[in-house]
Structure 1
């Protein structure tokens, strides 16, 4: 099999070559050539026997020698930057290391070799970082997925994986990606946002937090809904701080992202099938297994399939107070999606039975949204009261958010409000020894 350095896998669309970026493009192309010569010059058998620090020094020394040999070709190129980025090519993510080192960057979106966008401060911005070509980008993608025991090629052109720092990645390559390899990296801060941070960012109010804390503490199961990037996982992490410390939690995720503010946690992650197409472990299997692990609460990072039925069964059989997230546009839309997922379980359950399971198992639905300008915000808190005589849900809104306009920076402005509805779950909270001020529910 030919190496990526000798086989042209992708055609470079001329229209994608960045304007006014010739110097950066030349730098990246020279770096790729030096990197290939560097790899060919290293004694890999010797390098495997030395420490990481010695390895880094050895690579830098060899790189300096190669740069000296090509001094005329490298005229006008920042040698010190070249040496630093060569180390990134060998040990890291190449040009992306610069972005990964910025704590304010939350998403890195590589459309193709010459176009990279980042999310910073809630805003999508085009980065000045580029790759030498699509082969260069493909090498970085292959390095990322190989480190986590995965592979990506024309037979398997899509992959989800997780970096050692917890960042979630998705890569998709030709023939599915027509413009060349595409890479998306969702980063998570070293320290997850606390509930006070969310209040400071005006994502939620202290009154809503008081209510949600009481919901969690009194073991009322909660469903957190929202779109992609709306802050569902961040909210789940923050609310976990209100779970009593003596309780045992089991978390189940496709790609481990949760950093719960709790000591007694067992983290489980699904497993994809191997190259022979066997060995897959699904969320549903993990939910079933978690019931044998003596959990007080089961927390599913995101419910997205047949595991919804097993989750609801757990919520209805002694594992109240469990938490999960779901992709949905509204609190009521979340219920419809949940019904659809239960139907995917393979059991021909009548709709009234499914709805009774949902109404009995879940008490509160919290919806979070990503507003214009990047702000994440709790836009609705609703209670599933019961089912009516026609078998439809009785859902009452408790709190909401009304957008009133856009400020000079293009960010959404608005206000939180209470509907005036007194939740039926207050009785359960009082039975648990939690009494909330009635003023937080007064209509305003």
Structure 2
């Protein structure tokens, strides 16, 4: 039986245009297998955007045939095909069409294709949310209850309502149980809440029934890009400029610990992942996360993930059997002697161990929910973290990031890079210095002209500050060249994360040669396809 009834002919989901809506500017189209499509529309009556999912409509006869074919297909599906989606589709499609011909030989080829779409959607895909799950512009998918429209967080439009909803509580209950099973976990009355990872790596939060939510079952799926964003990508998107990015490169390479702070959906983990690409390739990295999000090009990298326990809580340990939490992973990580330790997000007492590791010389990079340095210190000093203020001096820099509105679109910006200078011996207050700030009016980044981090790097390298500043300029130029080369040589396929990692590794081996190579590459691209300019 399908996860949700497909639209019948004549319903709103046929995608027929009506005077009540118009297609939004810069509409993003996303196609699912064969038929599924999404479009962002603007409804003047409500002055709201809407994410419309358009799927093929079925007649009553076709809908009844779909259920019969699905029941038969489930019995005939082979096992051991493997997890790769394309391999599974190659096996599934001929089998689905054969079942359709067997159950309904008189069905037209076009109707058979429509049925095959729903069969694939409901078995290999994600049922009614398959189209947004395949849309690269969708970051989050959220369902708050039966009969309530599903919402998506669109990269350009922010949070918008969709045309998809679960008509009944029973259908939604079945769907969240199915999502849990797909993630290798389970939901029940005894355990009605779930945090897990779907096979594609998306993060799933789900609740079952009315045990913990008054509106019934719910779920939120946080999706991540298939291709992690590189520092060059962030520069191209305007999240940060080349010079402050080169500053962070120097800071990370020199072993300065850092924290990326911001609100929800401000892009903290994306920036953290990008900064980790600056770690020298031979250094050992250990990452610790609740759900796997960090992806690195480094070989010398151990990726640790927490695990939930099963059964009753042990009164001695305070945990159910089999649970592996942040404390366990941090203890394991420190015994492995990593040069770089990264924690996806610190939220509780594990922050104490992270700052202790910083104080002992480990370079730690992590994210934290706070809008500014003052809020970060306040949250850290109070329960449940209760961090002594003296440990803050181990922190080198804080990147402050937020989500902003640019016209009708949403964007992310680093609005300040703040250095932690130390503690005032008289007042005990934290001394900070803003190295770079973002000018919201001009949408530009400015250096304040004073950097204690660069001063320390110069002393550690036994160099003049001017030499370090020249190195900063060289790295900023390299990042700009890599961005130009990526955009002009192949706009549809920019640098992949491993390719960017190789470029950084080459710079570590031969800085002057790598910079010359990047300049020559841009010149070759310009000769082959010169940028458009005024006619002479």
Structure 2 residue aligned with 1:306: 349
Change beyond 3 A, Cα 1:421–1:56:
same
1:366 and 2:407 equivalent?
Answer: no
Shift of 1:112: 3.7
Structure 2 residue aligned with 1:390: 427
Q: Where does the alignment leave 5 or more consecutive residues of structure 1 unmatched? A: 6-18, 345-350, 405-412
Structure 1 residue aligned with 2:133: 100
Whether contact under 8 Å (2:182, 2:199) holds in the other structure is: no
Structure 1 residue aligned with 2:521: none
1:122 and 2:184 equivalent?
Answer: no
Structure 2 residue aligned with 1:418: 447
Distance 1:425 1:341 in 2: 34
Structure 2 residue aligned with 1:322: 364
Within 5 Å, which residues of 2 pair with 1:323-342? Answer: 323-340=365-382
Within 5 Å, which residues of 2 pair with 1:32-111? Answer: 37-42=68-73, 44=75, 47-48=78-79, 52=88, 53-66=90-103, 79-111=112-144
Distance 1:161 1:291 in 2: 26
> What secondary structure sits across from 1:322 in the alignment?
strand
Distance 2:58 2:366 in 1: 44
1:167 and 2:158 equivalent?
Answer: no
Structure 2 residue aligned with 1:400: 437
Q: Which 4+ stretches in 1 moved above 6 angstroms? A: 22-26, 28-33
Residues 241-273 of structure 1: CA deviation (Å, up to 9, x unaligned): 111111000000000101124231110000012
Structure 1 residue aligned with 2:321: 278
**Paired residues, number:** 402
1:150 and 2:141 equivalent?
Answer: no
TM-score by length of 2: 0.67
Q: Where does the alignment leave 5 or more consecutive residues of structure 2 unmatched? A: 4-9, 15-53, 83-87, 313-319, 474-536
Structure 1 residue aligned with 2:34: none
> What secondary structure sits across from 1:98 in the alignment?
helix
> What secondary structure sits across from 1:291 in the alignment?
helix
Distance 1:245 1:43 in 2: 47
Moved more, 169-178 or 247-256: 169-178
> What secondary structure sits across from 1:189 in the alignment?
coil
Within 5 Å, which residues of 2 pair with 1:250-261? Answer: 250-261=286-297
Whether contact under 8 Å (1:4, 1:139) holds in the other structure is: no
RMSD value over aligned CA atoms?
3.3
Residues 336-383 of structure 1: CA deviation (Å, up to 9, x unaligned): 222236746xxxxxx7xx111121x21101111011242011011111
Whether contact under 8 Å (1:32, 1:136) holds in the other structure is: no
Change beyond 3 A, Cα 1:81–1:45:
closer
Change beyond 3 A, Cα 1:289–1:49:
closer
Distance 2:230 2:472 in 1: 25
Shift of 1:126: 2.8
Distance 2:440 2:237 in 1: 16
Distance 2:81 2:334 in 1: 45
